[in-house]
C-alpha cells in the first residue's frame, strides 16, 4: 500500500504551511489549504499553487486530507477541528514560543511537550511531530530528490509507528529523509533552542549585518545540507 497521500490537507496558510503546500504540489499531490481567516484570504496562494490546490475552511481541509499538516501558532491549537481529524494522521509543525503564545504552565514545567498537548486535544487523531525545526525558506529550497548527495533529513517523532511511517513517506515525497527520534515525549529534542533547531540548515550568519543585510542574507544564502547522520548526532546532544 502506498503511504504517500493523494490529497494533503493543510491547516495554516502561513510560511511553513505555504512551503509545504508548494512542495506537495511540485510532488504531484493535491492540496487543500486553510486558515482561520477564511478561504477568500488564500486566493493569492492558491493561484500561485495552480490547479492542484484549493482553499477551504480548517474543518474542510481536515476532512479532505488523506494526511493533514497543522502549522498554526501553538496558542490556537484548541481551535483545531478535533472531530474532523478523528482517524487522521496529523503532522504537527508547531512550536511553543511563550512571547507569542503566552505562558502554558504544563509546557513551562516540562510536564508535556507541545505535541503531547496537541495530541491530548486531538484525541481521535495520530499526531506526529515534523517540519518544526527548519525555517520556511530552507524548507522549500533545500528539498532534494531521493538519493541526492546533498539531501537533508528532518526529525520525526510520534507515538504511533504507522503514523510515523506515513509522515516519513510524505517527507520522502517532498524531498527529505526522516530520522525517527522517538515518541511525542522525545519531540522536545527538536524544539526551539535545541541543537537541531533551524541553525544547522541555515549555516552561520555573518556578524555585524544590518537588519536589511540580515534579511537579504536570509533569502539569498543557500541552505546547508544536514544529512540523517548529522541529524542523529544533533539529536543525541540535546539535553
pLDDT, tens digit (0-9, with 9 covering 90-100), for 109-118: 999 999 999 9
Q: Grid coordinates representing 174? A: 517532498
Separation in Å, CA 202 to CA 54, 145, 217, 226, 237: 31, 19, 10, 10, 19
Output the pTM of the full model: 0.95
3-state SS assignment for residue 173: helix
Residues in the chain: 239
- Per-residue pLDDT at 2: 64
- Per-residue pLDDT at 4: 82
Give every residue of the chain whose pLDDT is below 70, as ranges.
1-2
Residue 70's beta-bridge partner residues?
Answer: 11, 92
- Residue 83 φ then ψ, to 5°: -65, -35
- Per-residue pLDDT at 178: 98
Residue 39 contacts residue 56 (beta carbons within 8 Å): yes
Q: Grid coordinates representing 139? A: 524548507
Amino acid at each position: 500500500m502506498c503511504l504517500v497521500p493523494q490529497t494533503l490537507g493543510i491547516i495554516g496558510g502561513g510560511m511553513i504551511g505555504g512551503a509545504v503546500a508548494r512542495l506537495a504540489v511540485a510532488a504531484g499531490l493535491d492540496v487543500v489549504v486553510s486558515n482561520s481567516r477564511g478561504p477568500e484570504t488564500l486566493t493569492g496562494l492558491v493561484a500561485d499553487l495552480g490547479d492542484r490546490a484549493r482553499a477551504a475552511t480548517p474543518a474542510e481541509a481536515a476532512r479532505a486530507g488523506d494526511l493533514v499538516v497543522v502549522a498554526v501558532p501553538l496558542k490556537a491549537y484548541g481551535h483545531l477541528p478535533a472531530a474532523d481529524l478523528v482517524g487522521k494522521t496529523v503532522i504537527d509543525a508547531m512550536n511553543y514560543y511563550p512571547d507569542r503564545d503566552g505562558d502554558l504552565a504544563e509546557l513551562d514545567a516540562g510536564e508535556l511537550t507541545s505535541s503531547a498537548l496537541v495530541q491530548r486535544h486531538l484525541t481521535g487523531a495520530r499526531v506526529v511531530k515534523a517540519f518544526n525545526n527548519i525555517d520556511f525558506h530552507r524548507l522549500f529550497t533545500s528539498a532534494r530528490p531521493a538519493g541526492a548527495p546533498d539531501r537533508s533529513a528532518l526529525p520525526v517523532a510520534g507515538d504511533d509507528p504507522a503514523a510515523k511511517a506515513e509522515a516519513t513517506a510524505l517527507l520522502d515525497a517532498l524531498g527529505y529523509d526522516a530520522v525517527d527520534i522517538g515518541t511525542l515525549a522525545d519531540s522536545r529534542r527538536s524544539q526551539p533552542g535545541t541543537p537541531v533547531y533551524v541553525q544547522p540548515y541555515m549555516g552561520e550568519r555573518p556578524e555585524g549585518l544590518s537588519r536589511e543585510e540580515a534579511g537579504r542574507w536570509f533569502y539569498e544564502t543557500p541552505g546547508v545540507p544536514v544529512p540523517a547522520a548529522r541529524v542523529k548526532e544533533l539529536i543525541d546532544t540535546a539535553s
